[in-house]
């Protein structure tokens, strides 16, 4: 990792999309960074003489806040990525967790590091792994080495579940969540946060859910869980409790400003009202829901969530159900899905899509005062997009070009906490090709060991 001693100046950017309170776009702007934080933002001419130990020439760059991904299973899936047929249905998750169960600490470290490379190279500087990392100590090395910002946890269940996850006693599950928070929250210069992470309300007792919320409150941290209101989930909740799943969470006292519900496909008005009342937040994963046929174009409620003032961020979910871990793609899809689904081009303007990937995502993480915009005092998580590329030109409206034209391939330089982690398109903390070869071998080994395979639809000759 490169050092961050002294001042760093990002100089003369063609545009800085600050996403600050005034949503200013600074033409010909510069940013000064010191001790990991932004200390000045303004016109390049005004900051011309400001001294800096290192200057990054940003003259053909568009600078944005680091992107946030609120739901990305990063710890194992790269080993066997792309093997599952689209139609696997309910057998998908049992297979996923079976293969994950075969990976040891070293394998999880390498697969995690490769996922981090993919995310950082795509401009995503902060991401949430929703509890699927098994060997957090080994993966802490990957977080430290890469310099990423991450929210982790250990997902738990205390009920029988169809997805092959271990079923703990309620007391064990609570202890696991608490130990994870105690051990990992605020580590690595506060770049690592740890939350309570019951896997899914459907596989959790009321006692476990209440305890997860209590831990989030007591430790001043967060709680996240998968919340997908499939018709069967809704029907079961109405049968058992006389109310829909998110209304039931509210009745348990489990919703609040420190609670982030992932996906929220299939929510209704009353459930969104419950989220708005309690301050609960959410992340939506459009590339995953589209690929898995969840009906987001028909039943997705992003406009209604935003209308209620609910903090919404974006996610990509896993490399095997999404599959690209690129927040840029999620941002693009958020901007276009509702235009088509509602046949209304006023839906989710590109500015809103960029907010979802930055400041609104940061608010959904409870980190809106620390990251998510280019403002004095915030942590210096920044992305420099190279506009010396065909897809960026011609360049007049940088927000339109960023959301609709560009993708992660134009990410030139990335800073997290004031440290350069991607430079000239390459991660500075690892030999990427050597890492890829290592993970390919891990995948081949695990498939050979388990005998898991799915035939190609086309003959491989
Ligand atoms: Zn997930």
Q: What tens digit of pLDDT does each residue of 55-73 get? A: 999 999 999 999 999 999 9
Report how far ligand 1's centroid is from the alpha carbon of 73 (Å): 6
What per-residue confidence (pLDDT) applies to 1? Answer: 42
Report how far ligand 1's centroid is from the alpha carbon of 318 (Å): 7
Separation of alpha carbons 123 and 76, rounded Å? 21
Domain spans, the chain: 7-65+374-423, 67-364
Q: Per residue in 284-339, pLDDT tens?
A: 999 999 999 999 999 999 999 999 999 999 999 999 888 999 999 999 999 999 99
In the predicted model, what is the mean pLDDT of the chain? 96
Report how far ligand 1's centroid is from the alpha carbon of 130 (Å): 6
Describe the chain by its helix, strand, coil percentages, rounded to 5.
Answer: 40, 20, 40
Residues lying with their CB under 5 A of ligand 1, a single-atom ion? 317
Same fold: 7-65+374-423 with 67-364? no
Encoded tokens for 411: 């990410």
Query: What is the b/e burial string over 17-34, where b = at least 16 CB atoms within 10 angstroms of the residue's CB?
Result: bbbbeeeebbeebbbbbb
Report how far ligand 1's centroid is from the alpha carbon of 204 (Å): 16
Q: Per residue in 390-424, pLDDT tens?
A: 999 999 999 999 999 999 999 999 999 999 999 99
Report how far ligand 1's centroid is from the alpha carbon of 228 (Å): 10
Separation of alpha carbons 311 and 198, rounded Å? 21
Report how far ligand 1's centroid is from the alpha carbon of 76 (Å): 13
Separation of alpha carbons 378 and 33, rounded Å? 10
Report how far ligand 1's centroid is from the alpha carbon of 147 (Å): 23
What per-residue confidence (pLDDT) applies to 163? Answer: 84
The CATH number that domain 7-65+374-423 falls under is 2.30.40.10
Report how far ligand 1's centroid is from the alpha carbon of 251 (Å): 24
What lies within 8 Å, CB to CB, of 105 at 6+ separation is 135, 137, 138
Whole-number Cα distances in Å, 372 to 19, 159, 218, 281, 457: 8, 37, 25, 16, 43
Separation of alpha carbons 44 and 10, rounded Å? 9
Report how far ligand 1's centroid is from the alpha carbon of 227 (Å): 9
Report how far ligand 1's centroid is from the alpha carbon of 44 (Å): 42
Q: Per residue in 176-198, pLDDT tens?
A: 999 999 999 999 999 999 999 99
Confidence of residue 94 (pLDDT cuts 50, 70, 90): confident
- Superfamily of domain 67-364 in the CATH hierarchy: Metal-dependent hydrolases (3.20.20.140)
Q: What is the mean pLDDT of residues 437-456?
A: 95
Report how far ligand 1's centroid is from the alpha carbon of 244 (Å): 21
What global pTM score does this model have?
0.97
Q: Per residue in 348-390, pLDDT tens?
A: 999 999 999 999 999 999 999 999 999 999 999 999 999 999 9
Report how far ligand 1's centroid is from the alpha carbon of 356 (Å): 18
């Amino acid at each position: 990792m490169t050092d961050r001693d002294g001042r760093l100046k990002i100089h003369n950017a063609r545009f800085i999309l600050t996403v600050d309170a005034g949503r200013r776009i600074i033409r010909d702007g510069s940013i000064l960074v010191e001790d990991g934080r932004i200390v000045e933002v303004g016109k390049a001419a005004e900051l011309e003489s400001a001294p800096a130990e290192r200057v990054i020439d940003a003259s053909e760059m568009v600078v944005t806040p680091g992107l946030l991904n609120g739901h990305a299973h990063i710890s194992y899936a790269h080993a066997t990525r792309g093997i599952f047929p689209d139609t696997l249905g309910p057998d998908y998750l049992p297979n996923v967790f079976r293969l994950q169960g075969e990976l040891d600490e070293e394998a999880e470290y390498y697969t995690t590091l490769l996922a981090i490379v993919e995310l950082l190279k795509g401009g995503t500087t902060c991401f949430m792994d929703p509890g699927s990392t098994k060997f957090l100590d080994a993966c802490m090395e990957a977080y430290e080495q890469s310099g990423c910002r991450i929210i982790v946890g250990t997902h738990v269940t205390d009920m029988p579940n169809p997805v092959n996850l271990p079923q703990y006693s309620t007391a064990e599950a609570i202890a696991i969540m608490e130990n994870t928070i105690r051990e990992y929250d605020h580590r690595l210069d506060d770049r690592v946060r740890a939350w309570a992470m019951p896997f899914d309300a459907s596989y959790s007792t009321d006692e476990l859910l209440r305890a997860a919320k209590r831990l989030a409150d007591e430790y001043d941290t967060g709680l996240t869980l998968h919340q997908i209101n499939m018709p069967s989930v809704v029907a079961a909740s109405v049968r058992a409790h006389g109310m829909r799943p998110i209304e039931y969470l509210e009745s348990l006292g489990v919703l609040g400003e420190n609670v982030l519900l992932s996906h929220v496909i299939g929510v209704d008005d009353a459930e969104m009202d419950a989220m708005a009342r309690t301050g609960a937040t959410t992340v939506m994963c459009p590339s995953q829901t589209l690929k898995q046929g969840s009906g987001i174009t028909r039943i997705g409620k992003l406009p209604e969530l935003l209308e209620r003032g609910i903090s919404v961020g974006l996610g990509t979910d896993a490399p095997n159900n999404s599959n690209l871990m690129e927040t840029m793609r999620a941002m693009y899809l958020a901007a276009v899905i509702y235009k088509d689904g509602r046949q209304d081009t006023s839906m989710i303007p590109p500015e809103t899509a960029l907010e979802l990937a930055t400041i609104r995502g940061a608010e959904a993480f409870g980190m809106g005062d620390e990251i998510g915009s280019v403002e004095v005092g915030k942590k210096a998580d920044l992305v420099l997009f190279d506009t010396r590329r065909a897809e960026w030109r011609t360049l007049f409206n940088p927000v339109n070009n960023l959301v609709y034209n560009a993708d992660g391939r134009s990410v030139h330089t990335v800073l997290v906490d004031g440290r350069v982690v991607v430079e000239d398109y390459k991660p500075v903390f690892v030999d990427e090709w050597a890492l890829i070869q290592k993970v390919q071998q891990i995948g081949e080994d695990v498939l050979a060991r388990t005998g898991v395979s799915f035939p190609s639809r086309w003959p491989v000759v």
